[in-house]
Amino acid sequence: MSMFSSSKWFLCVAEDHNSSSLKATKIGQGYRLISIEDTHDGGLVSLLQVKQKNNI
């Protein structure tokens, strides 16, 4: 059995080329931020995990 079998994973991609500063965005209480990286073109890529099982 895979350790990820009961988890749902989401990939979230966000870009904002016109912003001079990053503003925190609330993503919800049911998600855990796993990783976040800058892309070569200035965007952000993050990996989120659902904390508990839901019926999506």
The predicted-structure confidence for 6-35, as pLDDT tens digits, reads as follows 445 555 555 554 444 445 555 667 778 888
- For 17-32, give the DSSP string: TT-SS-------TTEE
pLDDT confidence band for 56 (50 / 70 / 90): low
How much is the pLDDT for 32? Answer: 80
How much is the pLDDT for 5? Answer: 42
Instruction: Record the pTM.
Output: 0.40
Given a cut of 60, is residue 37 above it in pLDDT? yes
